Amino acid sequence: MLLALLQANAVPLDMAGNLAVIDAAASDAAAAGADLLLTPELFVPGYDPERIHAEFEPGQLPRLRHELADIARNHGIALVYSLPRVDGARLSISATLVDAAGAELLDYGKVHLFGDAERAAFVGATEAPGVVQFKDLFLSIVICYDVEFPETVRAAGVRGADVVLVPTALAHGFDEVPQVLVRARALENHVALAYANHCGVESSVAFGGGSVIVGADGGFLATAGPDATLLYAQLDAETIRSTRKDVPYLSERRPELYAEWARH
């Protein structure tokens, strides 16, 4: 599978403009032969929790989802996009995988919210990461801060994921996340991991870019600097799964002990 990753700058609450950026990226990625395009966290509305909470109209979600499915269908490429999602009386942050025909394969709600602004605007989801087969790989999704918790990516790994896709909105100054933690999550769970960030400034938040695609051995397959770009990496099921032979972290876990340890 050839994976494409979009790193770009969104304009808060300019849904039409941000959709146009995704559409152009999908066109370029499809022309390059990519099977799937991963986009950043909340790229469609832009990353501004306070304005989303105050101004975003949930009634437009069906239309936005339809337009994103059309982008996938028109360019013949699978797409991971991120939108607010209605959870009870509040919004959560979600990411959705649709296939090249625009059919929804997987939806995930962000479990770990980062900072006061996110916690004021959104509610944390509670569902475990799902896993779905796409071509010859099993894919899962977590969102941004989720990847910084070992339990979240481990949940995807023990459910059989080969690849974990991570839309993110990481502010400037946290380079250790893509440079250290993302590599550790990939290595310890035998998964390839793609981490798609914003760049530039959105409202008052400066993003550092620095998106990465990491192999299941923890090595970088593609890295971005601070500017808008498309990254590409070929992900191979046999290569990913071969990392589970020499140091089989997942199969040698002892979860019955960990459950007991957690009670103390």
Which residue numbers are catalytic? 41, 110, 144
Please check whether residue 168 is in contact with residue 195, taking contact to mean a CB–CB distance below 8 angstroms: yes
CA–CA gap between residue 111 and residue 92 (Å, rounded): 9
Among 183, 239, 174, 260, smallest CA distance to 166 is for 183
Indicate the pairing of strand 199-202 with strand 2-7: unpaired
* Residue of 209, 250, 216 lying closest to 233 (CA atoms): 216
Name the helix (H) or strand (E) containing 141.
strand 137-141
Compute the CA torsion angle 29, 32, 36, 38 (nearest 10 deg): -40
Tokens of 191: 């998964």
Contact 47, 72 (CB under 8 A): no
CA distance 87 to 250: 32
Beta carbons of 66 and 44 less than 8 angstroms apart: no
From CA 142, how far away is CA 123, in angstroms rounded?
15
CA distance 163 to 7: 19
